[in-house]
C-alpha cells in the first residue's frame, strides 16, 4: 500500500512512498488540509543520499506505531531538499535559529499557516545522546498544541518575522576595496590546518571555491603562500580516503580532520567543483597529480553519473547492502584473492594502507600513506614498474568492485548542478584538448535546453521524462555560466544566446530592490518569506552565480545593465567576505573579477578553421581567470558585442587582445598573440 508520494519523481520521496506514514508532498493540498483539520504540520526534509535520513526512516517512519501517532495528530509533509531548495533554506534557517545548528534529516513542526515553532534534525526511536525520542517529541508537541497553542503560534510568528527580513545588499562603499581580499587571505592563513590541509577540524569539508580564491590570489599577486595553502590541501584530499582511489571522484566530506574516513555519499556538485579546481591547479603548476585527479574525477562523472540522455544524476548513496561504505572498503585477503601476483598484491597493499585490522569497522578505506616514489624504493622497483603494477591492480580491483551491490543512484537531473558540471566539462575540454569532454558538454547543453523547459520556462528538476518545479536563481545562473563556458570552447553562438536569455530572466524576475537577487521568481508560489541566499557553501549561492554571469556578460558586451547590479551587490559583501572567507568565497572570486584587469579576446574567422583553434589555444590552456573570449565571423548574429566593428586581417583568422574594449594591434600569428598576452600580464603584474 502506498501513500501520496507514489506519483512523485524524486527518488527520495519515492523511498517513502510505502511508509505507513500518510505523507503528502509539499503543496496546497497538505496546507489546506492542515487548516481544515486544525492540525499542526510535521515537515520532514532530506535527500536520497543522506545516511541519517535513511536511519530515521527505518527507525521511525517505517514503524507502524509511530506512523499511527503521526497520522492521527499531524499533517505530514515530506520534501526533497534538492528539488525544493526554497522550502529547505527557509526552514533550515528557522531550525538554526531555534537550536543553533542544522542538518538533515530536518524535522520541523509548523502551524497550518506554515510558520515554524519547533524543530531539529535526527530524532532517535529511544532517548539517547541527550536527544528525546521521536515518539516523545510527537506526543509533547501535540499536547502543547492542545493546551498551550497560543505560545506556539507566537513562537511561529516571531520566527517567521525573522525569516521575512532578507539580507540587504546595498553597497556600503563607492568602490571595491582590495583590502577585503587581503583580510580574507589573512583569515584563511590563520585558520589553516598545516598538518592536513583545509580549514577546521572534524568533520572536514572540501572547500573548492575557497581554494579557487587562493589560486586567484596567487595569479593576481604572485602570492606563493596562497598557492601553498591551495596545493597542500588538494594533495592531502587526493591522498585521503575521501577521494575514491579506485574509481575516481570525491565523497561528500571526511568525518575526521585528515581526510581519511569519508561520509561515503558522492554528490554531483562536489565532483564538478573539485574537478575544476584541480584543473586550475594543474594549469598553474603543471604538476601531474592535479591533472590525474581532474581526469579521474571527470571520468567518474562520465562513467557513473551520466544518463543515456546526456544529463547528470544528482548523487550516489553512502550505503549499500545495509552498511555505510560497504562498496568501497577492502581486507588484505580480498585484495590477494583478486591480485594473484603476490608482488603486485603486496605493492598495492602497502601503497594504499591496507591492514589486517583496517581503518573502518575492520576493513580498509583505501588511501595513499606513501607515494609512488617511496613505494618504488621500498620494493626496489623502477618508477615505471611501480606505476604499471599499481595501474594493473587498480583495474583488477575496480572490476571486482563493480560486481558488488552498488550504492543507489539518485537519478534526477537538477539544472543548477548540471550547469556547474557543464562549466567544468567545457573548461576541461579546452584546457586539456579533450574532444570526449567537449562532446559530453555539448550533449549536456542540448539535453538541458531540450528537456528542462516547460511551457517556455526553465524548470529545476527532470526525471523519467518529467520536468518539474520552476527554476530558482541558482538554476538560471549556473546554466547561463555553463552555456557561456561552452560557447567559449566551441564558439557556437546558440550557447551564447541561451546564456544571455538566462541573464535577462534574472534581471526581469529575480532582482531585490534592496540589492542582489531573490532565490525565487517574482511569481513563485507564496511561502512564508521569499528566500535570498548569499552563503557559498557547499555550492556557490544563487546570488554569487548570478553576479558571476552578469560580470562575464558585461565584459563580453560592455553593457552596464549587466555589470552595474552585479558590482553593486559585490561591493555590499566586502566586509562579510573578509571576515568569513570560507562562507563567502564565491563573492571573493567576483571581487577579483570586478577589480580586474579583465582581458578580452576577440577571434575573427570561421570557427571551423584550424587556424582559429591555434589562436584560441594560446589562451585556453593557461589559467586566465579574468579572460573572456568571443569568436566568429564578422557579422555573426547573436554574437557578443566584443566582435562588433572588427574585421579579419589579410583574409585570415585574426585575434584582438583587449582591455575595456581597447585593443592591441590585430594579429594572425599565435606566437604574436602569445607575446601580447605575456606582455600584458607582466605589465599588470600578473606573471
pLDDT greater than 70 at residue 262: yes
- Sequence-ordered alpha helix ranges (H) in 165-254: 179-190, 208-221, 224-239
pTM score, whole prediction:
0.96
| 105-109, 125-129, 229-233, 529-533, range with the lowest pLDDT | 125-129
Exposed e or buried b for every residue in 371-395, given b needs 16+ CB within 10 A?
Answer: ebeebbeeeebeeeebeebbeebbe
CA distances from 393 to 347, 396, 399, 454, 515 (A): 9, 5, 10, 48, 55
| 339-343, 413-417, 470-474, range with the lowest pLDDT | 339-343
| 19-33, 414-428, 636-650, range with the lowest pLDDT | 636-650
Cα–Cα distance for residue pair 348/390, rounded to 1 Å: 6
Cα–Cα distance for residue pair 389/391, rounded to 1 Å: 5
What is the rounded average pLDDT of the residues 55-69? 96
Going by C-alpha positions, the residue among 304, 297, 544, 537 that lies closest to residue 424 is 297
What is the rounded average pLDDT of the residues 78-104? 95
Domains, the chain, ordered by start? 11-164 (3.40.30.10), 205-410 (no CATH), 597-687 (3.40.30.10)
687 band by pLDDT with thresholds 50, 70 and 90? very low
CA distances from 391 to 279, 290, 311, 335 (A): 22, 17, 30, 14
What is the rounded average pLDDT of the residues 426-435? 97
Question: H or E element: which one contains 108?
Answer: strand 106-110
Question: H or E element: which one contains 76?
Answer: strand 75-80
What is the rounded average pLDDT of the residues 253-277? 97
pLDDT greater than 80 at residue 186: yes
What is the rounded average pLDDT of the residues 321-344? 95
165 band by pLDDT with thresholds 50, 70 and 90? confident
pLDDT tens digits for range 497-519: 999 999 999 999 999 999 999 99
Q: Is the dihedral of CA 24, 28, 31, 35 positive or negative?
A: negative
Q: Which residue has the cell 570586478?
A: 594
Contact 655, 617 (CB under 8 A): no
2 band by pLDDT with thresholds 50, 70 and 90? confident
Q: State the pLDDT at residue 4.
A: 92
572 band by pLDDT with thresholds 50, 70 and 90? very high
Exposed e or buried b for every residue in 437-455, given b needs 16+ CB within 10 A?
Answer: bbebbbebbebbbebbeee
What residues contact 338, with CB distance under 8 A and at least 6 apart? 396, 397, 400
Cα–Cα distance for residue pair 146/148, rounded to 1 Å: 6
Cα–Cα distance for residue pair 662/558, rounded to 1 Å: 11
What is the rounded average pLDDT of the residues 212-234? 97
Contact 495, 441 (CB under 8 A): no
Exposed e or buried b for every residue in 95-130, given b needs 16+ CB within 10 A?
Answer: beebeeebebbbbbbbbbebbbbbbbbbbbeeeeee
621 band by pLDDT with thresholds 50, 70 and 90? confident
What is the rounded average pLDDT of the residues 242-249? 97
pLDDT tens digits for range 293-302: 999 999 999 9
Which 3-state string (H, E, C) describes 627-682?
EEEEEECCCCCCCCHHHCCCCCECCECEEEEEECCEECCCECCHHHHHHHHHHHHH
Contact 624, 598 (CB under 8 A): no
pLDDT tens digits for range 543-553: 999 999 999 99
Exposed e or buried b for every residue in 643-680, given b needs 16+ CB within 10 A?
Answer: beebebbeeebbbbbbbeeebbebbbbbebbbebbeeb
Q: State the pLDDT at residue 306.
A: 98
Q: Which cell numbers hold the place of 397? A: 580491483
Q: Which residue has the cell 608482488?
A: 343
Cα–Cα distance for residue pair 180/167, rounded to 1 Å: 19
Q: Is the dihedral of CA 535, 537, 542, 544 positive or negative?
A: positive
Contact 187, 125 (CB under 8 A): no
pLDDT tens digits for range 373-429: 999 999 999 999 999 999 999 999 999 999 999 999 999 999 999 999 999 999 999
Cα–Cα distance for residue pair 547/478, rounded to 1 Å: 11
607 band by pLDDT with thresholds 50, 70 and 90? confident
What residues contact 498, with CB distance under 8 A and at least 6 apart? 445, 449, 480, 483
In DSSP terms, which residues pair with 652 in a beta bridge? 649
Q: State the pLDDT at residue 605.
A: 96
Cα–Cα distance for residue pair 202/197, rounded to 1 Å: 12
Q: Which cell numbers hold the place of 533? A: 541566499
What is the rounded average pLDDT of the residues 200-206? 94
CA 61 to chain CA centroid, nearest Å: 30
Query: pLDDT over 70 for what percent of the chain?
Result: 99
Q: State the pLDDT at residue 684.
A: 65
pLDDT greater than 80 at residue 474: yes
Going by C-alpha positions, the residue among 682, 624, 546, 587 that lies closest to residue 181 is 587
Amino acid at each position: 500500500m502506498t501513500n501520496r508520494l507514489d506519483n512523485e519523481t524524486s527518488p527520495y520521496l519515492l523511498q517513502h512512498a510505502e511508509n505507513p506514514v500518510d505523507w503528502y508532498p509539499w503543496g496546497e493540498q497538505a496546507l489546506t488540509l492542515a487548516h481544515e483539520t486544525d492540525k499542526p504540520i510535521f515537515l520532514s526534509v532530506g535527500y536520497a543520499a543522506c545516511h541519517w535520513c535513511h536511519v530515521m526512516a527505518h527507525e521511525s517512519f517505517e514503524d507502524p506505531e509511530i506512523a499511527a501517532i503521526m497520522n492521527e495528530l499531524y499533517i505530514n509533509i515530506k520534501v526533497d531538499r534538492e528539488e525544493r531548495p526554497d522550502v529547505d533554506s527557509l526552514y533550515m534557517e528557522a531550525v538554526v535559529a531555534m537550536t543553533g545548528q542544522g542538518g538533515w534529516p530536518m524535522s520541523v513542526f509548523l502551524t497550518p499557516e506554515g510558520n515554524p515553532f519547533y524543530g531539529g534534525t535526527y530524532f532517535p526511536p529511544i532517548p539517547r545522546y541527550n536527544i528525546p525520542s521521536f515518539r516523545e517529541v510527537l506526543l509533547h508537541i501535540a499536547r502543547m498544541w492542545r493546551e498551550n497553542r497560543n505560545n506556539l503560534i507566537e513562537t511561529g510568528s516571531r520566527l517567521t518575522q525573522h525569516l521575512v527580513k532578507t539580507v540587504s545588499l546595498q553597497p556600503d562603499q563607492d568602490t571595491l576595496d582590495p583590502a577585503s581580499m587581503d583580510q580574507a587571505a589573512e583569515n584563511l592563513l590563520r585558520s589553516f590546518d598545516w598538518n592536513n590541509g583545509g580549514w577546521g577540524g572534524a568533520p572536514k569539508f572540501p572547500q573548492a571555491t575557497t581554494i579557487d580564491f587562493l589560486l586567484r590570489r596567487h595569479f593576481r599577486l604572485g602570492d606563493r603562500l596562497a598557492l601553498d595553502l591551495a596545493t597542500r590541501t588538494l594533495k592531502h584530499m587526493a591522498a585521503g580516503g575521501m577521494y575514491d582511489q579506485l574509481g575516481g571522484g570525491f565523497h561528500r566530506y571526511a568525518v575526521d580532520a585528515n581526510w581519511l574516513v569519508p561520509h561515503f555519499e558522492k554528490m554531483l556538485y562536489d565532483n564538478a567543483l573539485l574537478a575544476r579546481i584541480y584543473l586550475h591547479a594543474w594549469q598553474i603548476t603543471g604538476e601531474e597529480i592535479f591533472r590525474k585527479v581532474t581526469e579521474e574525477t571527470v571520468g567518474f562523472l562520465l562513467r557513473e553519473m551520466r544518463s543515456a540522455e546526456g544529463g547528470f544524476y544528482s548523487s550516489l548513496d553512502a550505503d549499500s547492502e545495509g552498511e555505510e561504505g560497504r562498496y568501497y572498503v577492502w581486507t588484505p585477503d580480498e585484495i590477494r584473492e583478486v591480485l594473484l601476483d603476490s608482488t603486485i598484491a603486496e605493492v598495492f597493499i602497502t601503497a594504499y594502507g591496507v591492514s589486517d585490522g583496517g581503518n573502518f569497522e575492520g576493513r580498509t578505506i583505501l588511501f595513499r600513506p606513501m607515494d609512488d616514489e617511496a613505494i618504488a624504493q621500498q620494493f626496489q622497483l623502477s618508477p615505471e614498474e611501480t606505476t604499471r603494477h599499481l595501474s594493473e591492480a587498480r583495474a583488477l580491483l575496480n572490476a571486482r568492485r563493480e560486481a558488488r551491490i552498488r550504492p543507489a543512484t539518485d537519478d534526477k537531473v537538477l539544472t543548477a548542478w548540471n550547469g556547474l558540471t557543464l562549466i567544468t566539462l567545457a573548461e576541461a575540454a579546452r584546457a586539456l584538448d579533450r574532444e570526449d569532454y567537449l562532446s559530453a558538454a555539448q550533449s549536456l547543453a542540448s539535453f538541458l535546453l531540450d528537456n528542462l523547459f516547460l511551457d517556455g520556462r526553465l524548470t529545476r528538476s527532470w526525471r523519467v521524462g518529467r520536468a518539474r518545479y520552476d527554476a530558482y536563481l541558482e538554476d538560471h545562473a549556473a546554466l547561463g555560466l555553463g552555456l557561456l563556458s561552452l560557447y567559449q570552447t566551441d564558439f557556437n553562438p546558440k550557447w551564447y544566446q541561451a546564456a544571455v536569455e538566462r541573464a535577462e530572466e534574472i534581471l526581469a524576475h529575480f532582482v531585490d530592490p534592496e540589492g542582489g537577487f531573490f532565490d525565487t521568481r517574482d511569481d513563485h508560489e507564496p511561502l512564508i518569506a521569499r528566500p535570498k541566499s548569499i552563503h557559498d557553501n557547499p555550492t556557490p549561492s544563487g546570488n554569487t552565480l548570478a553576479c558571476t554571469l552578469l560580470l562575464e556578460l558585461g565584459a563580453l558586451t560592455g553593457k552596464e545593465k549587466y555589470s552595474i547590479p552585479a558590482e553593486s551587490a559585490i561591493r555590499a559583501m566586502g566586509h562579510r567576505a573578509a571576515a568569513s572567507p570560507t562562507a563567502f568565497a564565491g563573492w571573493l572570486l567576483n571581487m577579483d573579477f570586478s577589480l580586474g584587469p579583465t582581458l578580452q579576446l576577440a577571434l575573427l574567422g570561421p570557427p571551423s578553421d584550424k587556424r582559429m583553434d591555434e589562436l584560441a589555444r594560446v589562451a585556453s590552456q593557461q589559467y586566465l581567470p579574468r579572460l573572456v573570449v568571443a569568436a566568429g565571423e564578422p557579422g555573426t548574429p547573436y554574437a557578443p558585442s566584443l566582435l562588433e566593428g572588427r574585421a579579419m586581417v589579410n583574409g585570415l583568422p585574426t585575434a584582438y587582445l583587449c582591455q575595456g574594449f581597447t585593443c592591441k594591434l590585430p594579429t594572425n600569428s599565435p606566437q604574436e598573440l602569445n607575446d601580447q598576452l605575456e606582455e600584458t600580464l607582466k605589465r599588470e603584474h600578473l606573471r
